[in-house]
Chain A
Amino acid sequence: MDLKTTYLGLKLRNPLIASASPLSGTVNNLRRMEDAGIGAIVIYSLFEEQITKELQEMNQHLVRGTESYAESLTYFPEPADVLVEPEEYVDHIRQAKSTVDVPVIASLNGHSEGGWVRYAKLLEDAGADALELNIYFLATDFATTSEQIEQRYLNILRSVKSMVKIPVAVKIGPYFSALAHMTKRLEEAGADGLVLFNRFYQPDIDIENLSVIPNVLLSTPQALRLPLRWIAILHGHLKMSLAATSGVHSAQDALKMIMVGADATMLCSVLLKHGIDHVDVILEDMRQWMQEHGYESIQQMKGSLSQKSCPNPEAFERANYMRALKTFI
């Protein structure tokens, strides 16, 4: 059975990629992922906030209360070493590369145009095979237009692309008025791949303490539908790679994504829930299903049920919405 695929120009032994999560934080886990058969690993994200906000906060803490009273002109020793969070991340990428043979994809997560994107270069120098640029942005400002927002995505991408030679995938959310057009623009701006979709963190509220609770829920298999539809629509219209993320919990889910046109599928919640070794279970299930259904390779099935290739393309569009509802009722 040939599970090989190509993602961002990288040859993967299979289409399963560990997506950015805390699991990739230790070298031991990376080794376990590889042993379990993973095709590639996206290392946990380096957040813009880590590069900017945390350093600013730390700087504020270091100067708070200083130069006010003659006996305590400072409260901390001058840091002997450079206080830069990404050093640790960059080191981790380096270690990851020396630990595993599967491709290692670094992940940069941010939302504004600024100096933080220069870390792309450091990640490339550390040996990352590719970069996942996770643009994590909630458009809450009433004065900002859709065009300005789209422009910001493109600007961030362009500045990252201008710094590195390795392929860059962009991970975006689904909340664009004209998503298809946007993906085209991203491709034109140099994206080598798209990762669909980012799951924005959704806070909860506490009605006892009248406060907002920031926490993250793991994805459920239901989350699969959104990327499934969009990958189906986009497949065949873009030259860049497509990766599916959100809601991929089983071999069937992964196969569905490939059939609608994904070059790779990402796993996160399922590994957090069942453990890293579950990769092996999914892979085995994939092989078995493909065998049972007479498929020879991933390549063969890729895009077979995309909007372009499927027997009923209108099912992916709005027209189908009314029918679906009626059926449900």
Chain B
Amino acid sequence: MTVPTRKQITIDGNEAAAYVAYRFSEVIAIYPITPSSTMGELADEWNSAGIKNLWGTVPLVQEMQSESGAIGAIHGALQTGVLSTTFTASQGLLLMIPNLYKIAGELTPAVFHVAARTVATHALSIFGDHSDVMAVRATGFAMLSSTSVQEAMDFALIAHAATLEARIPFLHFFDGFRTSHEIAKIEQLTEDDLRSLVDERLIQAHRERALSPEHPVVRGTAQNPDVFFQSREAANLFHQACPGIVQKMMDKFAQLTGRQYDLFEYYGAADAKHVVVIMGSGAETVQETVDALNASGESTGVLKVRLYRPFSIEAFLEALPNSVRSIAVLDRTKEAGSSGEPLYLDVVNALFEARAQFTPLPMVIGGRYGLSSREFTPAMVKAVFDELKKDSPKNHFTVGITDDVSRTSLEYSEDFSIESPDTVRALFYGLGSDGTVSANKSSIKIIGENTRNFAQGYFVYDSKKSGSVTISHLRFGPRPIRSPYLITRANFLGCHQFNFLDRYDVLKNIESGGTFLLDSPFGADQVWDHLPRKVQETIIDKRLKFFVIDAGSVARATGMGGRINTIMQTCFFAISNVLPHSEAIALIKDSIRKFYTKKGEEIVQMNYRAVDEALVHLHEVRVPAQASAGKKIPNAWFAQAPEFVQNVTSCMISQCGDAIPVSALPVDGTYPVGTTKFEKRNIAAEVPVWEKDLCIQCGKCVFVCPHSVIRSKVYEPKYLDDSPATFKAMAAKDREFQGLQYTLQVSVEDCTGCSLCVEVCPARNKSEARIKAINMTPYTDGQNEDAKNWEHFLAIPDMARERLKTNSVRGLQGIRPLFEFSGACAGCGETPYLKLLSQLFGERALIANATGCSSIYGGNLPTTPWSKNDEGRGPAWANSLFEDNAEFGLGFRLSIDKQKEMAAEYVKLLESEIGTQLVEELVNADQSDEAGIFEQRQRVELLKEKLNKMDRPEAKRLFGFVDALVKKSIWIVGGDGWAYDIGFGGLDHVLSTGRDVNVLVLDTEVYSNTGGQMSKSTPRGAVAKFAASGKTLAKKDLARMMMTYGHVYIASVAFGAKDEHTVQAFLEAEAYPGPSLIIAYSHCIAHGIDMKTGLQDHKAAVQTGYWPLFRYNPLLAYDGKNPLLLDSSEPKIPLHEYAYRQNRFKMLTKSKPQEAKRLLELSQQDVQKRWKILESMAAPVDSPKTPTQ
């Protein structure tokens, strides 16, 4: 056998699978969902770049509105004779289920690639396990599991080749994130490799079976009890033949590449007594552990499941060594209520069916591991093998957690490690914004592609979108790396942010004698005394080699801004000895040239300078023999937090959540609100400072602050008596607040430093115009005075709500937001709307939140921003799914309406005891304004008192729904991906019902949360993922579509252009007694803008006519008026003054200038046309221009 030399490349699992899938396909239908989105994005990029498939044609790539749309399109494409594929995960796969049954039932060859991800249950999780693929195991699809990046490529080929012969469609899956996002050095299959496994006659046969009017057939009939059953059985032979075909392909593949795979692959001692059965990346960990255990005299093995469906009992038994006495089957899923997890049940059944072959029958236990990407380490594998040795091992166990409730968990020792001594293990702590991850990705490529070493990289991100911490785990070594788990014994550790030393136990995972590189603003001779004591002690105790560089200064000096990636990467190569020094530097520069050439020579040169300067500024620190620093003061805010936050949430924040036992967590996913305020992330480099002498108390800064860190209060002067010395106050300017004090206070510890507040401030210093009433100043962690001022400010009572004018920006500033300190991007364009919602209606709001950015910054642990007021009231928030949010919110409405109706029935039933007048008032209360709602609340309290004294069962029952008598505000919130695409059908229906729901569309015109894929809201000419060549068609006009109903209140708002208009629209929408739809312009990082100038985008959007402001209020029509009010003036400036402020449009002018020009011209026409239509629709009703409706 000759093994041809193939290219060694470093890529992630998604790219590995997509590489093959793309080349085997003619039509690809896609829809983004983490962690599989990359595969679709790559397909689109390759399509855009004109890359051809195996047969010389560029596959057609079509984005759909949902996964159910994607699979529908694929079903159709397959039925009409093309080769087709898609990529998905989790809920996306679940949305495909009905079609999966169809495609399999019709024996249609196809392969779908799945980055397996947790299915949302009590909570959503974007991370990996097998709950999604296990949910489709009954569909009739073959299921092939890859354990590594290499296999993701190899098995993609085997699946695409096998499906054509088997006529069974395949689900090829690999672990989400762990494999989909791990970067590894692999051997790239050539296109000839791909071709050589395929018999083209089978493709022809597929085409011949296709629907065609040239030789018509009917497929998809409705069948009756007489033949359906037999028809289902008619396909048996195909399913039975499938494993054999897969094995044949695996054997052919082995001849081609030297890599032999089997349906079930045994690895370990030939006479193993104890065997673990497992599939997915965990199999690699078990294999590695088996080696280590057997080397120390044990007799263990692992059976890797490759082809899970059809499950070949015969092949399974053949692979299992005869010596086996006990088997642990590990499932990366949980099937609550079953007698065991799926793989376990398959194994038990296989053994039972073959029981005659065994004397005695091996003992089998099942266990769960790794849910939602929970770590699965050699220590855990050892614990499983140790369990197998016991006479009565635990069945249905868990491993990797501490289950102190059902006692399912196995104990394991964290000290057990089998890391190879010749592997370089490097850990890097960085910020998302500093470029640490991209530097590490580059390092992996450098080492992987230029040396004989194997390389692996895996990246852990936190759940915030601003100031997020990243931890990179890199391994390099002379042998293939089979370690799909995080590094706990690093021999190199880089900390790219000095303040992490205070917040995290950064040095926990460095081994003795390791090298520690710190980005420090202090030089080698000064840094020691600035280190926390624990860090000093660890450096001494572990005898670390300690280096510092002031990367921030080097970055600024070389034009790199905040990106220290190249600098820290250079330092890593300079001191880690992974490569000879000069060779490493040459390779870094070479890689810079390769990576940045597309972006311009200047960028290349800038990075070169950063490399050279990094070497000059890197210094070793002489480590003193003694620690010198004092002990760290813990976060004082936690002391005020509820017990749950102190005991549980704080562990998650300090990255120790893995240790939280089962008993400490809620059983049903219910969590307390308002916990972000305890986190105090201190992430801002600059914070706003109030210049009270200039302030006009307009409240605009409070209004725009996306993180609710700027607040104001009007209060009695007595509250200044015990205020901190630096607490600022001034006389309140509003006439009705004469004699009272006014303070504008910033919570610097929660600020992200976005500076939108400064942008919006209208007041300037008369002598020095650059100074405003609020200005950014540098911030260093722990400005205690500011924190004390904030604490004092919070202690001052809020002004009574009824004394504030809640219908104006000025008045609203005194209303406490019940949405605060979210983890949204700094300067987020969505959150000001949510804050407004919380201020206006929060204490009686129920919020249904579609999956997306707002559900992540709104509901991602550890801490959540929706909060409550001093009376304990606040928005009740929940996320159901992405696709069903409008329906979910309508469910709230129906429920509340029904409860209100029942409450009214019951109070009438109890009228004699409650009193006629109170009943009358309760049932007919006018709750159209705040005062009316306040009075009704009082009445309900009175009613409750009365009910408490009654014995009738009806009185007790009424307690369950009596609160529905107080008006509730139902909000359905989501982004454009939901409203325009996946949830549009539901949204349309919900609006059509006429029910009183308020829909808020946070329109960023792109799928922001999954990384910027095109939605139907994306404007013409914008570059987005899935529209790499610029979107060619215009944005969908959702507002105008919904106006056709006539009964829907609709508003188009942009808070940065006209804040009072936004407030007015929210108030009107909520007051309108039917469905309301607010479409809110939301500037977004995915627009390619500097977020601090986001408000200028709002202004330009409105002035160019790109985003006209209007309100469509059906109530006006009842008065004989035109319901449509245009609230902005006709386009004043050309569209390019808006568009070319943003990279999404500008990018196309650099890559396809002519096309950019063409699309801009068309977009300008869109703007004019839309304006004319709106103008004619808004004309006075008696005007002849009025359209007939």
Q: What residues of chain A have their CB less than 8 Å away from a CB belonging to chain B?
A: 51-52, 55-56, 58-85, 88, 114-116, 118, 210-211
Contacts of A78 in B (CB 8 A): 45
Restricting to B1119-1160, which residues have a CB under 8 Å from any CB of A?
1143-1144, 1146-1147, 1150-1153
Kindly state whether residue B435 has any CB partner on chain A within 8 Å: yes
Kindly state whether residue B523 has any CB partner on chain A within 8 Å: no
CB atoms of B433 and A71 under 8 A apart: no
Alpha-carbon distance A68/B470, docked complex (angstroms): 7
With A55-B600, A68-B433: A80-B1088 Cβ-Cβ less than 8 Å: no
Kindly state whether residue B438 has any CB partner on chain A within 8 Å: yes
Q: Which residue of B lies closest to A212 (CB)?
A: B769
CB atoms of B563 and A75 under 8 A apart: no
Alpha-carbon distance A211/B438, docked complex (angstroms): 39
Alpha-carbon distance A181/B379, docked complex (angstroms): 80
Alpha-carbon distance A69/B431, docked complex (angstroms): 10
Contacts of A114 in B (CB 8 A): 602, 605
CB atoms of B1143 and A74 under 8 A apart: no
Kindly state whether residue B599 has any CB partner on chain A within 8 Å: yes
- Shortest B86–chain A CB gap in Å is 18
Known: A51-B601, A56-B600, A58-B1147. 8 other contacts (CB 8 A): A56-B606, A59-B603, A67-B437, A70-B35, A72-B1008, A77-B44, A78-B45, A81-B598
CB atoms of B1009 and A59 under 8 A apart: no
CB atoms of A75 and B1085 under 8 A apart: yes
Kindly state whether residue B1089 has any CB partner on chain A within 8 Å: yes
Restricting to B986-1005, which residues have a CB under 8 Å from any CB of A?
none
With A52-B602, A56-B606, A76-B1088: A70-B34 Cβ-Cβ less than 8 Å: yes
Contacts of A80 in B (CB 8 A): 45, 48-49, 1028-1029, 1151
Q: What residues of chain B have their CB less than 8 Å away from a CB belonging to chain A?
A: 34-35, 37, 41, 44-45, 48-49, 126-127, 177, 181, 431-433, 435-438, 459, 461, 463-466, 468, 470, 559, 561, 563, 596-603, 605-606, 764, 769, 825, 856, 1008-1012, 1023-1025, 1028-1029, 1085-1086, 1088-1090, 1143-1144, 1146-1147, 1150-1153
Q: Which 4 pairs show the lowest CB-CB distances between chains A and B? A: A68-B432, A55-B600, A72-B1011, A61-B1143
CB atoms of B602 and A65 under 8 A apart: no
22 A-B pairs with CB atoms under 8 Å apart are: A58-B1143, A59-B599, A63-B563, A64-B1088, A65-B465, A67-B436, A68-B433, A68-B466, A69-B856, A72-B1009, A75-B1011, A75-B1085, A77-B1028, A78-B45, A79-B1147, A79-B1151, A80-B45, A80-B48, A82-B597, A82-B1151, A84-B1150, A88-B1153
Alpha-carbon distance A58/B468, docked complex (angstroms): 22
- Shortest A114–chain B CB gap in Å is 7
CB atoms of A63 and B559 under 8 A apart: no
Q: Which residue of A lies closest to B763 (CB)?
A: A210
- Shortest B1181–chain A CB gap in Å is 38
Q: Which residue of B lies closest to A73 (CB)?
A: B1011
CB atoms of B1085 and A60 under 8 A apart: no
Contacts of A56 in B (CB 8 A): 559, 600, 602-603, 606
Q: Which residue of A lies closest to B38 (CB)?
A: A73
With A76-B1024, A77-B1028, A79-B1151: A69-B603 Cβ-Cβ less than 8 Å: no
Alpha-carbon distance A70/B825, docked complex (angstroms): 14
CB atoms of B1025 and A77 under 8 A apart: yes
Contacts of B600 in A (CB 8 A): 51-52, 55-56, 59, 83-84
Tally of A-B residue pairs with Cβ under 8 A? 157
Contacts of B1025 in A (CB 8 A): 76-77
Contacts of A116 in B (CB 8 A): 602
Alpha-carbon distance A69/B470, docked complex (angstroms): 9
Contacts of A115 in B (CB 8 A): 601-602, 605
CB atoms of B1028 and A69 under 8 A apart: no
Contacts of A76 in B (CB 8 A): 1012, 1023-1025, 1086, 1088, 1143-1144, 1147
Contacts of A77 in B (CB 8 A): 41, 44-45, 48, 1023-1025, 1028
CB atoms of A210 and B764 under 8 A apart: yes
Alpha-carbon distance A115/B596, docked complex (angstroms): 15
Q: Which residue of B lies closest to A67 (CB)?
A: B437
CB atoms of B769 and A211 under 8 A apart: yes
CB atoms of B465 and A69 under 8 A apart: yes
- Shortest A75–chain B CB gap in Å is 4
Q: Which residue of A lies closest to B860 (CB)?
A: A69
With A55-B599, A79-B1147, A211-B769: A65-B433 Cβ-Cβ less than 8 Å: yes
Q: Which residue of A lies closest to B459 (CB)?
A: A67
CB atoms of B764 and A71 under 8 A apart: no
CB atoms of A83 and B599 under 8 A apart: yes
Contacts of B1029 in A (CB 8 A): 80
Alpha-carbon distance A100/B273, docked complex (angstroms): 87
CB atoms of B1085 and A65 under 8 A apart: yes
CB atoms of B764 and A67 under 8 A apart: no
With A59-B603, A81-B1151, A116-B602: A68-B461 Cβ-Cβ less than 8 Å: yes
CB atoms of B769 and A71 under 8 A apart: no
Alpha-carbon distance A208/B2, docked complex (angstroms): 80
CB atoms of A75 and B561 under 8 A apart: no
Alpha-carbon distance A206/B1038, docked complex (angstroms): 39
CB atoms of B1147 and A75 under 8 A apart: no
With A56-B603, A65-B433, A88-B1153: A72-B1089 Cβ-Cβ less than 8 Å: no
Task: Give the interface centre of A60, A61, A70, A77 by most chain B CB atoms within 10 Å.
Answer: A77
CB atoms of A85 and B438 under 8 A apart: no
Task: Give the interface centre of A75, A76, A115, A211 by most chain B CB atoms within 10 Å.
Answer: A75
CB atoms of B468 and A68 under 8 A apart: yes
CB atoms of B1011 and A60 under 8 A apart: no
Residue of B48, B461, B1008, B1151 touching A83 (CB-CB under 8 A): B1151
Contacts of A75 in B (CB 8 A): 1008, 1011-1012, 1085-1086, 1088
Q: Which residue of B lies closest to A82 (CB)?
A: B598
Q: Which residue of B lies closest to A58 (CB)?
A: B1143
Q: Which residue of A lies closest to B434 (CB)?
A: A67
- Shortest A74–chain B CB gap in Å is 6
- Shortest A27–chain B CB gap in Å is 12
With A67-B470, A68-B468: A62-B599 Cβ-Cβ less than 8 Å: yes
Alpha-carbon distance A85/B1156, docked complex (angstroms): 13
Alpha-carbon distance A71/B463, docked complex (angstroms): 10
With A72-B1009, A77-B1023: A66-B1086 Cβ-Cβ less than 8 Å: no
Residue of A60, A79, A210 touching B598 (CB-CB under 8 A): A79
Contacts of A73 in B (CB 8 A): 437, 1011
With A67-B435, A75-B1088, A77-B48: A51-B602 Cβ-Cβ less than 8 Å: yes
- Shortest B63–chain A CB gap in Å is 12
Contacts of B432 in A (CB 8 A): 65-69
Alpha-carbon distance A224/B1000, docked complex (angstroms): 60
CB atoms of B470 and A58 under 8 A apart: no
CB atoms of A62 and B1143 under 8 A apart: yes
Contacts of B461 in A (CB 8 A): 67-70
Alpha-carbon distance A79/B181, docked complex (angstroms): 21
Contacts of B177 in A (CB 8 A): 70
With A56-B602, A85-B1150: A62-B438 Cβ-Cβ less than 8 Å: no
Q: Which residue of A lies closest to B1014 (CB)?
A: A77
Alpha-carbon distance A82/B1008, docked complex (angstroms): 25
- Shortest A91–chain B CB gap in Å is 8
With A76-B1024, A81-B1152: A68-B1011 Cβ-Cβ less than 8 Å: no
Alpha-carbon distance A84/B1144, docked complex (angstroms): 16
Contacts of A66 in B (CB 8 A): 432, 438
CB atoms of A69 and B1085 under 8 A apart: no
- Shortest B581–chain A CB gap in Å is 26
Alpha-carbon distance A70/B463, docked complex (angstroms): 8
Contacts of A60 in B (CB 8 A): 561
- Shortest B184–chain A CB gap in Å is 17
- Shortest A178–chain B CB gap in Å is 33
Alpha-carbon distance A61/B559, docked complex (angstroms): 15
CB atoms of A69 and B599 under 8 A apart: no
Q: Which residue of B lies closest to A55 (CB)?
A: B600
- Shortest B964–chain A CB gap in Å is 37
